[in-house]
Structure 1
Amino acid sequence: MTLDLYRIPVKDVHGVKGKKPEELLALGISTVGELLDYYPFRYEDYTLRDLTEVKDGDKITVQGTIVGAPQLQMYGRVKSRLTCKMMVDKLFVTAVWFNRHYLKDQLKTGEDIVLTGKWDQKRLHLTVSESEFPGKGTSQIGTLQPVYSVAGAITQKWMRQTMKQALTQYGGMIAEVLPQELLDKYGLMARKQAVALLHMPGTMEEGLRARKRMVYEELFLFQLKMQAYRALNHDRADGIAHPLDLPGVRAFVRALPFTLTGSQKQVLAEILHDLQQPYCMNRLLQGDVGAGKTVVAAAALFAVVKAGYQGALMVPTEILAEQHKRSLERLFEPYGIQVALLTGSLTARQRREVLGALQMGLVDVAVGTHALIQEDVFFRSLGLVVTDEQHRFGVNQRSILRRKGMNPDVLTMTATPIPRTLAITAFGDMDVSTLRELPKGRKPIKTYAVTHDMLERVIGFIRREVEAGRQAYVICPLIEESEKLDVQNAIDVHAQIQFAFPQFHVGLLHGRMAAAEKDEIMREFSENRVQVLVSTTVIEVGVDVPNSTMMVVYDAHRFGLSQLHQLRGRVGRGEHQSYCVLIADPKNEVGKQRMKAMTDTNDGFEIARRDLELRGPGDFFGTKQSGLPDFRIADMVTDFEVMEQARDDAAGMVKQPEFWTGAGFGMLREFLRRENIFDSELLD
């Protein structure tokens, strides 16, 4: 971590010459420090194994004696299959090499050979990936070899040699960054030793101990950054202390056509408290599908407008923007609050009118898509920014909208319930409010997982609901036929459903349609002029049609768990019992686990936990733009306990006065300086 290593160019490592610095740069490596931070993601174990102790399918290394002449079969001019009998642990084993015909002349009867490959227990076959003859050249026998993510002309062999050379030249300069108290608390090895053992462990146990040390360091430094930011910025009096009319807000809540849940009341109280403080609110509002986040946001926007400021609500799709605008207009109409829509499909004239009204303060709340963050959008007095489904917007998009006001308060919402583990990592700089209750009267959605051969019964199920006056969604993963994926597509399914229900209106909705077409189809579905809507996942987020009671998902095993839960949340919003039918023939264990999770529970937080286990955090959010940290070695799923320890340690440390001045914390303050934490920039 010493700064010197991050200033020494990687070309100073012996052997890094020619085009190699450019090729390393493509991997994000430009300095010696970055090279040493480039950890292997696994190890190849070349420890000799006893065949009586290995399982079928294991990758193993064994030593044996060649007992038969090699046999070569050629397939064309390039492809080949080379086999040779050998004796290993008193077993006759057949070694198989593919496309390595040149080895035939090296395989001599009676010679010893070391082979690494995949073991076939039934046939006593070893499919060889690597082979070597003991005593001839450098041996890997008995070693653990690191495996790095490499690309282009950089090979594993070259990367291993280069890393070894870098440790020889610069290993002595690796400085400790963690205070001794933390090393002692968790029994962690010194940083210098940990970095060396991560790249070249003698045993798997050493590698795991080194990983434990570096995982803790990585998570601790990340959390230290978050906690230091909070300590430095939470009480900064450069936000807006809104002079709220609390009796007026209470009257607005009492006038709603429904009673808020206890959870909604608690969360609203937290938000109203923040709005009155002179620092910038930075709060995440998370809740399950249908938990009532929008009405809480509406009450917050009402409070801000009545205090003399404007509000902005940014959503990911035009359909959702229109729906939110209509909902807010219904709620705000008795109070004279003006709501405007700003999306990409407005005409030039409509856009000019909205922009002018925003700038003059004639519009109180702007609802829109990413059109809200374009350069020519100006607010007269923006006081509150609300983003819905926040993980669908990139970090830069959210911060641009915030900069359109003088440090407005920020409320981000998500209907993807985030396990506490992930929330404290991804949103460590935010306060998190959670809606746990669903509004009273909501009936749990009954979920079934069926196979494709039950399609006729599913169509009969849809017919029963539609004939009773209800509506249904039918979701497909693709728009058109694809040769690569054997999945039902929306256009074919639409034709199929139309044929099955000639007396009903069947609509089609997908992402390639023009915005006006999408809006018209959704309007027809909302008004029950379309009874069955065949769609891609464009309807996944937020669309509210209380009369729809049936959600059918084709090829459901191809969707992530949280996405399936979002889709299921499109039904169950009215008084009638709702159903979700997942049509799937999962071929692997992950697909089967997804179907089981969906039929086991309606709890979005439990779904999210299982989704995180099955897919990992990157896929969970579905985007690299999510703002999630890209850890080099830590894993947000398996290392969650370490993450929570690191957060508590970092929070406790920044509260100590000596942390900000004491000599023992100099390296950590230097790290924060490099991360610009002292520049008073808001984190996002």
Structure 2
Amino acid sequence: MRPSLLDPLFAPVTALEGIGPKVADMIGRVVPADVTDRAARVADLLFTLPYSVIDRRSRPEIAYAAEGQIVTLEVTVDRHQPPPRGKSNVPYRVFAFDDTGQIALTFFHVKGDWLQKALPIGAAVVVSGRMEWFNGRPSMVHPDHMALASDAAGLPLIEPVYPLTAGLSSKVLRRAIGQALARLPDLPEWQDEKVMRPQTFPGFADALTRIHNPLQTIDAATDGAAWRRLAYDEFLAGQIALALVRARVRRLSGRPLTGDGAIEAKIRAALPYSLTGAQETALNEIHADLARPERMLRLLQGDVGSGKTVVGLLAMARAAEAGGQSALMAPTEILARQHFSTIAPLAAEAGLEAAILTGREKGRERTQILERLACGEIDIVVGTHALFQEAVTFHDLVLAIVDEQHRFGVHQRLAMTAKGNAPDMLVMTATPIPRTLVLTAFGDMDVSRLTEKPAGRRPIHTVTLPLERLDELMDRIESAIGEGQKVYWICPLVEESDEIKLMSAEDRFAMLKPIFGTAVGLVHGRMSGREKDEAMAAFKAGETRILVGTTVIEVGVDVPDATIIVIEHAERFGLAQLHQLRGRVGRGDKASTCVLLYKAPLGETAKRRLSIMRETEDGFRIAEEDLKLRGEGELLGTRQSGTPGFQVAHIEAHADLLEVARDDARLLLSRDPELQSPRGEAIRLLLYLFGRDEAVRLLRAG
């Protein structure tokens, strides 16, 4: 049950004066929380923070007010000049003066009698707005604020600017936020004095008041103490929620998985190479986790082609030595089949039985796999999320490996732990995630990083090329194919679109076909699974030499003798995706090239992206740069994946607070695991405020 103290904040915004369903719907479009599945609440308004402020403290006299500057002037009204009758397109002008000159206050489509009341002739008034000069004459069009000099004390000198939507005025939104602030109950302090003092954090209510009613520009700045206080509140709520998930998962007691290393030794002997130092370190960490009675929750981060699958397979070998089964879950069928083709032959060498289970296995074949899983004949099963959603029962599932984790959120992690008797969990991601994002999305996990490429991998030469030089590229590809090389050609769309003028995969395929004939293949997401497999198999076997496709080949496709990848309209792709795509080449022993084909002129961000791609192949550096360019929400695909998109905090600006919040959360829960102390009770309020109530439910389910 939510504490009744918070009821005023969880009321719908229609409970506020002057807000009906229509305005409430518009407010729902601008609040930072995702309110698609519920009505906007009063608390959402508190966290709708301004994105900038207007400083009206500049008070020059008319003659000294610069063009374009926002100024506040104290003037005397001289005369009114209404438009001629019937000429509604001519503005209404009010002339006013001070000791240095005259100004025209200009209004379009206004009622004259209203203006005569607001700006009576001979009155001293204060007006604030943007200064404009026409032919040497000063003017202010539709001043933002006007008041008699005697009433001007209430004029906001620092005015917050909020995000708006069609039909919602800043006046209405500000009034609603003011009412929300007035409803804020007297809440106990949930922050530790030891954190607050060095950071000069104000109290929660004081921080909200400062940001919404700033007296200085710093009050509403993201790097000001008030905003940082709220960002820290949000980080702490997130870190406590993750720590509670971790505690819950660990509490479902695992069991020690130990083995004699015999199966692992057979797989190592079957490998055509030896492991890198980073792979050995990661494996040692995994083995140590498996040997403990608590459950493993580990994130294995590796760059494209750093050899995560092999580390995962050797972990599964340990599970088999301990007498249990393992499951590997991949986000797409293509990737599941790719993993299976790598794993099955190596598993067979060690006497392990491996099977694949995706949506494509039907009828009798599917029934047999399910029966063999249930009776324990299958040691390793590879599949898509179908493995954990359908009526799949395991004989003894002890290890679950999830690939491409950023597509699964914390909720899915909890759902997966329900299968099997609390299996150990290893999560693999081929998208290097910046350290700060690892803390926010995977704070409940231990992390291993694979930072080296396997021996024999050659660096990839990356070049940028404008579309105007396509002919040169075609000549280069013709000679490469003559030398027996293979080429990927990636396009952003499947078919031509009227809205977006980009080259589609089907158009490019049609253009290359007359030149290269049957050597060109096509693969895209609208094909059936079988058609995709056939196109990939033909490319792998060398029946086709150029594979035109969309980003369906982004993850996990392995053709070692493909040496060139052309990414068309590279300016349309994000950094992480460009890096993923580039990783499709450079998998053999030949030198490889990535051609980033772009349409000029390039914007600043696109230019920066392409130059980073030229400068480095280090996925972790690319991920950090991507975070700077795009922000955390886009990077992790926040909306789909259940990873935290923040209402208040900005990872880029507040990353330093994350570490503090994580340490604070761990210390608090080690002393008060059920949140029953006075601070624990206050923290429960914080969890509700930032929408982490699932974590409170975990406490009760404990």
Output the TM-score relative to the length of structure 2: 0.85
Q: How far 1:383 sits from its partner (Å)?
A: 1.3
Counterpart CA distance in 2 for 1:415 and 1:55 is 54
Counterpart Cα distance in 1 of 2:613 and 2:97: 48
Superposition map of 1:384-403 within 5 A: 384-403=399-418
Pairing 1:383–2:411 present = no
Aligned ranges 1:366-377 → 2 under 5 Å: 366-377=381-392
* Distance of aligned partners of 1:296 and 1:233 in 2 relative to their CA distance in 1, 3 Å threshold: same
Q: For 2:276 and 2:238, how far apart are their aligned partners in 1? A: 36
- 8 Å CA contact retained: 1:612, 1:620: yes
Q: Deviations over 1:23-62 (max 9, x none)?
A: 4677546655554344444434444477999999x78456
- Correspondent of 2:559 among 542, 545, 553: 545
User: What is the CA distance between 1:156 and its match in structure 2?
Assistant: 3.0
DSSP 3-state at the match of 1:639: helix
Q: 2:451 aligns with which of 421, 436, 444?
A: 436
Residue 500 of structure 1 and its aligned partner are, at CA, apart by 3.0
How far off is 1:147 after superposition? Answer: 3.9
Equivalences for residues 482-497 of structure 1 within 5 A: 482-497=497-512
Counterpart mapping for 1:122-137 below 5 A = 131-135=144-148
Partner of 2:17: 15
On the 8 A contact 2:316/2:399 being kept in 1, the answer is: yes
The answer to whether the Cα contact below 8 Å between 2:16 and 2:179 also exists between their aligned partners in 1 is: yes
Match of residue 228 from structure 2: 212
Shift of 1:516: 0.9
Equivalent residue in structure 2 for 1:302, among 311, 317, 329: 317
Contact 2:616 2:622 survives alignment (8 Å): yes
Please, which moves more after superposition, 232-241 or 307-316?
Answer: 232-241
Structure 2 residue corresponding to 1:536, chosen from 550, 569, 572: 550
Provide the secondary structure at the position in 2 that maps to 1:637: helix
Runs of 5+ in structure 1 lacking a partner? none
- Contact 1:10–1:21 under 8 Å retained in 2: no
Give the match for residue 575 of structure 1. 589
Q: What does the per-residue CA deviation read over 1:581-628, in whole Å, with 9 as the maximum and x for residues that have no partner?
A: 101135321111111111111110111011111011111123423232
Q: Structure 2 CA distance, aligned partners of 1:88 and 1:486?
A: 54
**Distance verdict in 2 for CA 1:110–1:302, change over 3 Å:** farther
Q: CA deviation at 1:92?
A: 10
What one-letter code is carried by the residue in structure 2 that aligns with 1:245? D
Aligned length: 672
Displacement of 1:648 in angstroms is 2.8
User: Is 1:191 equivalent to 2:204 in the alignment?
Assistant: yes
Equivalents in 2 of 1:245, 1:641: separation in Å? 44
Structure 2 equivalent of residue 587 of structure 1: 602
- Per-residue deviation, 1:252: 2.8
Contact 1:291 1:439 in 2 (8 A): yes
Do the aligned partners of residues 656 and 377 (structure 1) sit closer, same or farther apart at CA in structure 2, a change above 3 Å counting? closer
The alpha carbon displacement at 1:149 in A equals 4.6
Q: Is the Cα contact below 8 Å between 1:215 and 1:633 reproduced in 2?
A: yes
Verify the 8 A CA contact 2:267 2:350 in the aligned structure 1. Answer: no
Partner AA of 2:227 in structure 1? R
1:183 corresponds to which letter in structure 2?
Answer: M
CA gap of 1:120–1:284, structure 2 versus 1, over 3 A, is farther
CA contact (8 A) 1:244 1:276 kept: no
Check the 8 A contact 2:373/2:393 in 1, yes or no.
yes
**Which residue of 2 is the match for residue 222 of structure 1?**
238
- In the alignment, which residue of structure 1 is the partner of 2:663? 648
Counterpart in 1 of 2:53? 43
Aligned ranges 1:233-244 → 2 under 5 Å = 233=248, 236=251, 238-244=253-259
Aligned to 1:634: 649
User: Is 1:481–2:496 an aligned residue pair?
Assistant: yes
CA deviation map 1:86-137 (0-9, x unaligned): 999989999998xx54479969999978464598999999996864444298
Structure 2 counterparts to residues 414-493 of structure 1, below 5 A? 414-493=429-508
Distance (Å, rounded) in 1 between the aligned partners of 2:607 and 2:700 = 43
Compute the RMSD of aligned alpha carbons.
4.0
Counterpart of 2:531 in structure 1: which amino acid? E
What does residue range 76-155 of structure 1 map to in structure 2 within 5 Å? 100-102=108-110, 114=127, 116=129, 131-135=144-148, 141-149=155-163, 155=169
Q: For residues 578 and 194 of structure 1, what CA distance do their matches in structure 2 show?
A: 54
Between the two proteins, what is the percent identity of the paired residues?
Answer: 36
Q: Does the CA contact (< 8 Å) of 1:509 and 1:533 recur in 2?
A: yes
Residue 402 of structure 1, CA deviation? 3.3
Cα distance 1:54–1:621, how it changes in 2: closer, same or farther (>3 A)? farther
> After superposition, what is the alpha-carbon deviation per residue over 1:632-656, rounded to whole angstroms, capped at 9, x for unaligned?
2101122111112222333344445
Deviations 1:559-579 (A, max 9, x none): 000000000000000011000
Question: 1:213 corresponds to which letter in structure 2?
Answer: R
Equivalent of residue 562 in structure 1, options 576, 588, 599: 576
Given the superposition, is the C-alpha separation of residues 658 and 365 from structure 1 closer, same or farther in structure 2, using an over 3 Å criterion?
closer
- Does residue 509 of the first structure (1) align with residue 526 of the second (2)? no
Q: What is the identity, as a one-letter code, of the residue corresponding to 1:15? A: E
Equivalent residue, structure 2, for 1:6: 6
* 1:220 Cα offset (Å): 2.4
Q: 1:252 to 1:19 in 2, by over 3 A?
A: same
Pick closer, same or farther for the CA change 1:655–1:393 going to 2, 3 Å: closer
- Which stretch of the first structure deviates more once superposed, 564-573 or 27-36? 27-36
Q: Flag the 1:455–1:228 CA change in 2: closer, same or farther, 3 A.
A: same
> Aligned with 2:425: secondary structure?
strand
Instruction: Tell me the CA shift for residue 476 of structure 1.
Output: 0.6
Q: What's the offset of the Cα at 1:204?
A: 1.4
Could you tell me which amino acid in structure 2 is paired with residue 541 of structure 1?
V
Whether 1:332 and 2:347 are equivalent positions in the alignment is yes
| CA 1:586–1:536: 2 relative to 1, 3 Å | farther
How far 1:82 sits from its partner (Å)?
6.0
Cα deviation code 1:348-387 (max 9, x no counterpart): 3322222222222222211112222332222221111111
Do residues 166 (structure 1) and 176 (structure 2) align?
no
Match of 1:344 among 332, 351, 359: 359
Displacement of 1:140 in angstroms is 7.9
Q: Tell me which amino acid in the other structure corresponds to 2:593.
A: Y
Displacement of 1:521 in angstroms is 0.3
**Shift of the alpha carbon at 1:184?**
1.7
Tell me: CA distance 1:87–1:433, structure 2 relative to 1, closer, same or farther (3 Å). farther
Structure 1 counterpart of 2:7, one-letter code: R
Q: Aligned partners of 1:95 and 1:437: how far apart in 2?
A: 67
Is the counterpart of residue 178 in structure 1 residue 191 in structure 2?
yes
Shift of 1:162: 2.5
> Which residue pairs with 1:293 in the alignment?
308
Aligned to 2:215: 202
CA deviation vs aligned residue, 1:407-464 (integer Å, no higher than 9, x gap)? 1111111111011111111110001110011111211101011111111112222222
Report the Cα distance in structure 2 between the residues aligned to 1:473 and 1:120, rounded to whole angstroms.
Answer: 58
CA contact (8 A) 1:392 1:626 kept: yes
More off after superposition, 282-291 vs 211-220? 211-220
Alpha-carbon distance in structure 2 between the residues aligned to 1:438 and 1:195: 48
Q: Where does structure 2 lack aligned partners over 5 or more consecutive residues?
A: none
Q: Measure, in 2, the Cα distance between the counterparts of 1:260 and 1:378.
A: 34
Q: Is the 8 A contact 2:340 2:382 kept in 1?
A: yes
Report the CA distance between 1:19 and its aligned residue: 3.3
Check conservation: 1:372, 1:401, Cα contact below 8 A.
no
User: Which 10-residue stretch deviates more, 187-196 or 646-655?
Assistant: 646-655
